Each structure stands twice: as structure tokens, then as C-alpha cells.
Amino acid sequence: MNIGSRLAFLRDQRGLTQEELAASLGISRAALSHYEKNRREPDTETLGKVADLFQVSIDYLVGRTEQSNTVLDPEVRQFADRLELSDDQVLEHFTLTVDGRKLTPEEARRFIAFVRAERDMKI
């Protein structure tokens, strides 16, 4: 995956013309065309504008990940921050039920891993 394909994909997905998107980004249509054809590379500022506009991460834009929304919704983060996790023993006190089915310890472990990741405690 490359920047060009992502850009073209996102633009098409929203039904925009190069002209329109270029205007939104404050660049010329020619420049955008170059980006989509991987002839030129947008600078970081433009990359940021694209990410903001389409609500995707730059990592997704440049093809480093398939996950478009690396930038998680603030409310999602808020949820994660609500949970109180201290040490590894939380697993014991942790009960998760989805659709009436209790999560397996393994699944619960993954969920906790997520919350921790969100809290930047993995580093």
C-alpha cells in the first residue's frame, strides 16, 4: 500500500473530485494528482490535513497499517480511562460478559491489554 492509492481510495469513497479535495486541502489539483500517482510526496502538514479531513491516521495514509482509524475517538479513550487497573491480579476480579457469554480468561486478558495499551502503560 502506498499514499497514492490510499488518497485516491478515500477521495473516491467520499465521492469527491480532485478539484474539490485539492481545494479543501489548499493545494492545486495538479499537486493532488501527483500525490495520487505517487509522483510527488505531500509534506507532513498536508498529510495532517488529509488525516483530519478523512479522520484517519497518518500511519494508515502512508500504508504502514491497514487500520484506518489509528486515532481513536476521544470517547473511546475516555471509556478506557474509566476502568481501574492496577496489577496483574485484576484478571481475578475481572468479569466480562458479552451477549450472555462470559469471556474466557484469554479474552479478558486481551481486553486488559487493550486498556493498558490505551493508557500508554506498555512502554
Partner DNA sequence: AATTTACGATACATATTGTATCAAGTCAAG
Partner DNA sequence: CTTGACTTGATACAATATGTATCGTAAATT
> Could you list the residues that contact a copy of itself (CB under 8 A)?
3, 13, 41, 43-44, 47-48, 51, 55, 57-59, 62, 64-65, 67-73, 75-80, 82-84, 93-100, 107, 110-111, 113-114, 117-118, 120, 122-123
User: Alpha-carbon distance 102 to 49, whole Å?
Assistant: 42
Q: Which residue has the cell 502538514?
A: 45
Beta bridge partners of 102: 97
Window of 21-29, 54-62, 70-78, 94-102 that interacts with DNA by CB under 7 A:
21-29
Taking the complex as a whole, how short is the minimal distance between the CB of residue 57 and DNA, in angstroms?
Answer: 20
Helix H or strand E encompassing 102: strand 101-102
Alpha-carbon radius of gyration of the chain: 20
Residue nearer to DNA on the CB measure, 40 or 116: 40
